[in-house]
Amino acid sequence: MTLSQRLKAQAYAAGFDLAGIAMLGPVEEAAHYDAWLANGYAATMDYMHRNVDVRRDTTRPKPGMRFALVVALDYGGAEPGGPVARYARGDDYHRLMWDRLDELGEWLRTEAGGKTRSYVDTGPILERALARNAGLGWIGKNAMLINPDIGSFFFIGALFTDVELEPDRPFATDHCGTCRRCLDACPTGAFAAPRVLDAARCISYLTIELRGPIPPELREGVGARLYGCDVCQEVCPWNVKFAREAREPAFKPRGNLGSNDARALADEWLAMDAHAYATAFRNSAMKRARLDGLQRNAHAVLDNLRGPGNEGPADPPAGA
């Protein structure tokens, strides 16, 4: 076996579901990203405007690196839907994937010397474009990376290295065809066009990234979703057919986060103080929304469950 084949075998042995190797360099999708920013589709996520030049070329985040092992870790798309998006119900994936990638980096340095650097949503990298370049799938109309064997319910990570490796062929074909189920199913009409997501209308953005009140015209579309949204993935035929149950123990739902009872979960969050919140969401990706954000979401969902004309007191502005 070549070094590249052995490295990918090590990645599968570490528990990753997909592994491929990409040569670093100019990013084919960079122009699409520039247009996305220019149209204001990043909403209030100012950090997406930083280091744009670096994002256009994957050799720039860590000078001297020439190749990347790109991996995917499934988080269980076949698990039942609910008010909390599937990816966020268990432990924070960042630390788990970093540790495994760092172990792979140590293995590679032992075998071949050189340098490595692990990334899991932690650098100015267009991860889905890099994963497509490593042969892991195509970017679907819902802007998610879709793999023909396991769908799209997975996290992406990368191990950059200056060690010479054999790159896999980029995934060059598009298997969405004429299907537009994801575009039509979005409760808030967040897709400006195929593969163009307007974050300002996306439920995941509204319930996680947004600081401040959810716009009144979008609150009804949020429905009973307290944190994140899986709709555009749930309806995708590739997930309907190939999504798996969660196999990684760390991704099993903690507490009541796997519950389908949005009302009970909302009431639980509204009763939390800072200490209870810190305890309940220790090592959870859901801390990104902060307590005030979760409670804002809880108010919105409870109002939706009450129905028109029965709204409760206005929710306090998150981030105030």
Q: Which residues are catalytic?
A: 121
The two three-digit tokens of residue 12, written as one number: 């599968």
- What is the Cα–Cα distance from 162 to 58, expressed in whole angstroms? 12
Which residues, in sequence order, are bridge partners of residue 68?
22, 160
Closest CA to 171 of 140, 146, 137: 137
The residues, ordered by sequence, that sit 6+ positions from 166 with a Cβ below 8 Å of its Cβ are: 2, 3, 4, 21
**Helix, strand, or coil (residue 121):** coil
The two three-digit tokens of residue 55, written as one number: 């994002």
- CA atoms 232, 198, 208, 31: torsion sign: positive
